[in-house]
Copies of this chain bind each other. A is one copy, B any other.
């Protein structure tokens, strides 16, 4: 695992987003065991506490769960993963349309713009 951290965004949030994307995109497979907190922190070159904070966020989203003394695992709840994936697609799409509308592009203009600039 490797992240190019952006200095303007809290590290733990970037870790949350990265792992969330890896789960949603299937790079992290449901049921997989994550590396230990210490190992992952070491690899990402962050303090273990920072990583713990990120993992706690993911756990509160139910995207990972903890087996005491054993490790942390990616959820096996594929329905949940898909629900989060759909909700993300919806949120970023409607935000995008709103942002484009704010600068004067309506729905059609926006789609035309996207197609022309691919």
Contact = CB atoms under 8 A, between A and B. Distances in A.
Interface string A21-41: 100111000000000000000
Given A104-B24, A111-B114, A111-B115, A10 B68 contact: yes
Interface of A: 7-8, 10-11, 21, 24-26, 60, 65-68, 85, 88-90, 92-94, 96-97, 99-100, 102-105, 107, 110-111, 113-115, 117-118
State the number of copies, please: 4
A25 B68 CA distance: 29
A112 to B, nearest CB: 10
Contact of A66 (B7, B26, B90, B97): B7
29 contacts: A7-B65, A7-B66, A7-B67, A8-B68, A21-B103, A24-B102, A24-B103, A24-B104, A25-B102, A25-B103, A25-B104, A85-B103, A85-B104, A88-B103, A89-B100, A89-B103, A89-B105, A90-B117, A92-B96, A92-B99, A92-B100, A93-B96, A93-B100, A93-B117, A96-B96, A97-B118, A110-B114, A111-B114, A114-B114
